[in-house]
Amino acid sequence: MADRLTGGDSSLLRRINAAVTLRALRDGQAVTLTQLVGDTGLSRPTVEGVIEGLIEAGLVAEVEQSQDSGRQRGRPARWFRFRAEAGHILGIEIGVHEIRVILADLTGRVLGSHAKSAAETLDPEERLTLARTTVAEVLRKAGVSRDSLWAVAVGSPGIVDREGTVKLGTAMPGWTGLDLGARLRRSFRCPVMIENDANLAAIAEHWQGAAVGKGDLVFVMAGLSPGAGSLINGRLHRGFGGAAGEIGALHLLGQEATPERLLSTTGKPLDPLDEAAVARVLRLAREGDQVAQVAMDRFLRRLVHDVAALVLALDPEIVVVGGWAAGLDGVLEPLRQQLELYCLRAPEVVLAALGEEVVAMGALRVALDTVEEQLFAVDSPGVSAR
Amino acid sequence: MADRLTGGDSSLLRRINAAVTLRALRDGQAVTLTQLVGDTGLSRPTVEGVIEGLIEAGLVAEVEQSQDSGRQRGRPARWFRFRAEAGHILGIEIGVHEIRVILADLTGRVLGSHAKSAAETLDPEERLTLARTTVAEVLRKAGVSRDSLWAVAVGSPGIVDREGTVKLGTAMPGWTGLDLGARLRRSFRCPVMIENDANLAAIAEHWQGAAVGKGDLVFVMAGLSPGAGSLINGRLHRGFGGAAGEIGALHLLGQEATPERLLSTTGKPLDPLDEAAVARVLRLAREGDQVAQVAMDRFLRRLVHDVAALVLALDPEIVVVGGWAAGLDGVLEPLRQQLELYCLRAPEVVLAALGEEVVAMGALRVALDTVEEQLFAVDSPGVSAR
């Protein structure tokens, strides 16, 4: 792809100067040429040249400043701003029960979002069609052209490899083996990234949720097929094969302790996709039903064990609990107690803050990373000393 | 500490030139000035100046080349080599049953090593005295002065924080709370690093053992208080509080499944530090004793579960099994089978290759990193673009 900053001019220095200048403009405030010269450390003629190029590329606009301060005599100051509306990004969740799409500008400001519920029985074709329809609707409502998309990121349950193929996805029929990346890239001309849903939730909670400023975190998505995502030093830990955090399998190890069995009040396991049945058990337990309370206790003990395994392996600063466990009364206290018992420095344990949008927000952040890489990155292969 | 390359001259350029030149010399071969000019890309006068400085600093020696190839007319070629003997490093293990010290030169070439057995009942003073004695002996035998030590790294069981305080160390009496770093820094004038033993074992197996070239690895130290160390992208993952991989606690979660109970053949748990009793059970099992075999099976099932938890959390490329499980027949197969069942892409599972020296070798590698940082690092704060 041609360099957006220099229109294909590959001069490294010119690229760096453009990135440095854009960085000085990225917070969205209009600034004067003189301020830019001060902020960037570049010479005035260099900044003038860079700005001209960025205006041509559509990334910077000159701003009419009506209330000129009058301090300046002679040549009036010229004001510029970053055109965040020059492009757009999408964060998408393709989930078992829902498709969700969030649209934002190049600074990540949300311009629109929409969710459609999906039947858990949809086959991949139907599910992808629903996703495309939801995207089209969000774009149409916001009056944004598909051509102005710079990056799209998509969250999906299951183990997803770096190219976007679902290596294992038991939550949705036909999902395992699906080349989700290739399928979605046909619908967009910009880069499309695919990522595991719990990984995106970890990213989102770190960006705008319960773990802002905490770079070592584990996000636990509690559900009938629980998963987890983790950041180490602020960066996603995917694992060698993209499967890090897939603790659901721990349930299988040597014991019949799947959530659908643990939460059953009838002796027969729940349907592994029937979240409504789970909600019923939770409600009953809250209302004082003893059988349901016993089932809840069993489930919580198991969840605590899974989270403890993650904590012992990774030693994070904070554990964020989401998925429907975020709606469970009393999931935090047993977790905290157990972790304090067995960890020297027990991590903070908090509930997720972002709610239903967490996965799509994480996807939006991944798309935004791609954009920022194109716009603001000064590092580039060959620049660093080794 | 004054810069070893420039004798305190803080000129960044001069430092970089010296590092670049040393790098070209680091493999130990004697090379000519002309080769250095070619290898470094620096000008001849610059290389001459740098070499002069490095000779003064004792890091480079001019070599008499008797069999001059005769190809060159005029000025005879001058040959130089890196003086790996200009300084030394130590890798030390302070273990429950043994103190081990390895001495090497600045390229990591081992010059000597020694191990002393330690009673598990030693108090910290006695244990530290034994460590100092072992160091003195290794230095004396090799004819190396303590002043020529550039870096010392030490492995210890337990959770060790970044400054070298043992936050938790149940394997040795009086170890928890010990400021091991401060105590040992009194004995050396060079940097002293303290690290968890399983973490060092992971580093060592990646350096010279069973996981060379595999940057995503988990090392499992099987023993009565099992632990693990992991590398992610070739770098040690310590965790936020230095406790990553302390899976021993998993045994405690909700079940009475400690190794000393699992391995018992009498109904009474073994002494948690009595490795001889463990060896007895293993021998009996090998000899066909049924009670011992049942105990072994119990223990292996538990070990498999712990390793599975680590693998699910981290998704490494390879699992290296060490500690005394490395001496167990049949630990690999059940592990492989279980991991294949529950992991999409089961990691390779291998036995540790380095044997008893693994922790001290890992310590040596950490000390060598410090040396290489001083000698060869071109990056330096302020050099990189962001």
C-beta atoms of A237 and B232 within 8 A: yes
Closest residue to B244, CB basis, from A168, A252, A314: A314
C-beta atoms of B242 and A315 within 8 A: yes
Three-state secondary-structure class, residue A220:
strand
C-beta atoms of B385 and A383 within 8 A: yes
Which of A 40-99 lie inside 8 A of B, CB atoms? none
Neighbours of A286 (CB within 10 A): 14
Which of A 192-251 lie inside 8 A of B, CB atoms? 216, 228, 230, 232, 237-247, 249-250
CATH code for the domain in which residue A72 is found = 1.10.10.10
C-beta atoms of A239 and B310 within 8 A: no
User: What are the pLDDT tens digits along chain B (386 aa)?
Assistant: 446 776 655 567 788 888 888 888 887 789 999 999 988 888 899 899 999 999 999 999 999 876 555 555 666 788 999 999 999 999 999 999 899 999 999 999 999 999 999 998 999 999 999 999 999 999 999 999 999 999 999 999 988 988 999 988 878 889 999 999 999 999 999 999 999 999 999 999 999 999 999 999 999 987 766 789 999 999 999 888 888 887 765 554 444 556 677 767 777 777 765 667 777 887 888 888 998 888 888 877 777 878 888 888 899 999 999 876 666 666 788 788 878 877 767 899 999 999 899 999 999 999 999 999 888 876 543 333 32
C-beta atoms of A250 and B167 within 8 A: no
Which of B 109-168 lie inside 8 A of A, CB atoms? 159, 167-168
Distance from CA of B360 to the nearest CA of A (A): 23
Examine residue B230 and state whether it is found in any structural domain, yes or no.
yes
B249 and B184, same structural domain? no
C-beta atoms of B385 and A16 within 8 A: yes
Which chain B residues contact residue A16 at CB under 8 A? 385
Distance from CA of B354 to the nearest CA of A (A): 23
Distance, in Å, from the CA atom of B197 to the CA atom of B245, rounded to the nearest integer, reads: 11
Distance, in Å, from the CA atom of B378 to the CA atom of A359, rounded to the nearest integer, reads: 41
Three-state secondary-structure class, residue A256:
coil
B95 and B80, same structural domain? no
B263 and B226, same structural domain? yes
Examine residue B68 and state whether it is found in any structural domain, yes or no.
yes
Contact status, residue A35 vs residue A72, Cβ threshold 8 Å? no
Cβ contacts of B12 within 8 Å, gap of 6 or more: B380, B382, B383
Examine residue B160 and state whether it is found in any structural domain, yes or no.
yes
Examine residue A328 and state whether it is found in any structural domain, yes or no.
yes
CATH code for the domain in which residue A254 is found = 3.30.420.40
pLDDT at B385: 31
Distance, in Å, from the CA atom of A375 to the CA atom of A382, rounded to the nearest integer, reads: 18
Distance, in Å, from the CA atom of A153 to the CA atom of A199, rounded to the nearest integer, reads: 12
Which chain A residues contact residue B230 at CB under 8 A? 313
Which of the residues in chain A have pLDDT under 50?
1-2, 252-255, 380-386
Contact status, residue A91 vs residue A360, Cβ threshold 8 Å? yes
Contact status, residue B221 vs residue B320, Cβ threshold 8 Å? no
B166 and B81, same structural domain? no
pLDDT at A212: 96
A344 and A253, same structural domain? yes
Distance, in Å, from the CA atom of A191 to the CA atom of A184, rounded to the nearest integer, reads: 10
* Residue A42 in tokens: 């570049």
C-beta atoms of B315 and A241 within 8 A: yes
Distance from CA of B337 to the nearest CA of A (A): 12
Distance, in Å, from the CA atom of A154 to the CA atom of A366, rounded to the nearest integer, reads: 9
* Residue A366 in tokens: 């991944």
Three-state secondary-structure class, residue A242:
coil
pLDDT, tens digit (0-9, with 9 covering 90-100), for A290-313: 988 888 888 777 778 788 888 888
Residue-range definition of the domain harbouring residue B262 = 212-353
The residue of B231, B307, B315 whose CB has the most chain A CBs within 10 angstroms, and thus the best one to mutate to test that interface, is B315
Distance, in Å, from the CA atom of A236 to the CA atom of A238, rounded to the nearest integer, reads: 6
Examine residue B385 and state whether it is found in any structural domain, yes or no.
no
* Residue B290 in tokens: 């049924």
* Residue B127 in tokens: 């244990």
C-beta atoms of B312 and A384 within 8 A: no
Q: How far is residue A146 from each of residues A72, A140, A151, A272, A312, measured CA to CA in Å? A: 43, 9, 11, 37, 45
Distance, in Å, from the CA atom of B244 to the CA atom of B230, rounded to the nearest integer, reads: 8
C-beta atoms of A249 and B343 within 8 A: yes
Distance from CA of A214 to the nearest CA of B (A): 10
Contact status, residue B172 vs residue B166, Cβ threshold 8 Å? no
pLDDT at A298: 80
Examine residue A380 and state whether it is found in any structural domain, yes or no.
no
Closest residue to A243, CB basis, from B247, B252, B343: B343
* Residue A53 in tokens: 């190029």
How far, rounded to the nearest angstrom, does the alpha carbon of residue A296 sit from its chain's CA centroid? 30
How many domains in chain A? 3
Q: If you search the block for the tokens 């970890």, which residue do you land on?
A: A202
User: Minimal Cα distance from B385: which residue of A?
Assistant: A379
* Residue A351 in tokens: 């509930």
C-beta atoms of B313 and A317 within 8 A: no
Q: How far is residue B293 from each of residues A156, B280, B330, measured CA to CA in Å? A: 45, 12, 11
Q: Does residue B276 belong to the interface with chain A, where contact is any CB pair within 8 Å?
A: no
Q: SS3 letters for chain B?
A: CCCCCCCCCCCHHHHHHHHHHHHHHCCCCCEEHHHHHHHHCCCHHHHHHHHHHHHHCCCEEEECCCCCCCCCCCCCCCEEEECHHHCEEEEEEECCCEEEEEEEECCCCEEEEEEEECCCCCCHHHHHHHHHHHHHHHHHHHCCCHHHEEEEEEEECCEECCCCEEEECCCCCCCCCCEHHHHHHCCCCCCEEEEEHHHHHHHHHHHHCCCCCCCCEEEEEECCCCEEEEEECCEECCCCCCCCCCHHHHHHCCCCCCHHHHCCCCCCCCCCCCHHHHHHHHHHHHCCCHHHHHHHHHHHHHHHHHHHHHHHHHCCCEEEEEEHHHHCCCCHHHHHHHHHHHCCCCCEEEECCCHHHHHHHHHHHHHHHHHHHHHHCCCCCCCCCC
Distance from CA of A77 to the nearest CA of B (A): 30
Distance, in Å, from the CA atom of A159 to the CA atom of A168, rounded to the nearest integer, reads: 5
B349 and B235, same structural domain? yes
Q: If you search the block for the tokens 């080794």, which residue do you land on?
A: A386
Q: Which long-range contacts (CB under 8 A, 24 or more apart) does B3-7 make?
A: B3/B374, B4/B57, B4/B59, B4/B374, B4/B375, B5/B53, B5/B54, B5/B57, B5/B59, B5/B374, B5/B375, B6/B53, B6/B57, B7/B53, B7/B56, B7/B57
User: Minimal Cα distance from A246: which residue of B?
Assistant: B312
A219 and A342, same structural domain? yes
B192 and B281, same structural domain? no
Distance from CA of B336 to the nearest CA of A (A): 13
Degrees to nearest 5, angle at CA A195 with A157 and B318: 90
A63 and A186, same structural domain? no
* Residue B336 in tokens: 């492989």
Examine residue A379 and state whether it is found in any structural domain, yes or no.
no
Examine residue B179 and state whether it is found in any structural domain, yes or no.
yes
User: Minimal Cα distance from A377: which residue of B?
Assistant: B386
Distance from CA of B373 to the nearest CA of A (A): 13
The one-letter amino acid code at A203 reads I
Q: Which of A89, A149, A138 is nearest to A114 (CA)?
A: A138
Distance from CA of B292 to the nearest CA of A (A): 21
Q: If you search the block for the tokens 């083996």, which residue do you land on?
A: A177
Handedness of CA A161, A272, A356, A148 (dihedral sign): positive
Distance, in Å, from the CA atom of B327 to the CA atom of B381, rounded to the nearest integer, reads: 46
Residue A299: is it exposed, middle or buried by C-beta count within 10 angstroms (0-12/13-18/19+)?
Answer: buried
Residue B1: is it exposed, middle or buried by C-beta count within 10 angstroms (0-12/13-18/19+)?
Answer: exposed
Closest residue to A316, CB basis, from B240, B342, B347: B240
Which element (helix H / strand E) includes A114?
strand A110-117
pLDDT at A327: 65
Mean pLDDT over all residues of chain A?
85
Distance, in Å, from the CA atom of A379 to the CA atom of B174, rounded to the nearest integer, reads: 49
B95 and B60, same structural domain? no
Distance, in Å, from the CA atom of A346 to the CA atom of B16, rounded to the nearest integer, reads: 43
A219 and A331, same structural domain? yes
Final residue belonging to a domain, choices B39, B66, B85? B85
Final residue belonging to a domain, choices A35, A65, A82? A82
DSSP state of A289: -
The string of DSSP codes covering A162-176 is TTSBEEE-TTSTT-T
Closest residue to B309, CB basis, from A168, A250, A347: A250
Contact status, residue A202 vs residue A229, Cβ threshold 8 Å? yes
The residue of A310, A314, A339, A340 whose CB has the most chain B CBs within 10 angstroms, and thus the best one to mutate to test that interface, is A314
B349 and B222, same structural domain? yes
Which element (helix H / strand E) includes A264?
none
Q: Does residue B302 belong to the interface with chain A, where contact is any CB pair within 8 Å?
A: no
Residue count of chain B, please give it.
386
Final residue belonging to a domain, choices A82, A99, A127? A82
User: Minimal Cα distance from B381: which residue of A?
Assistant: A385
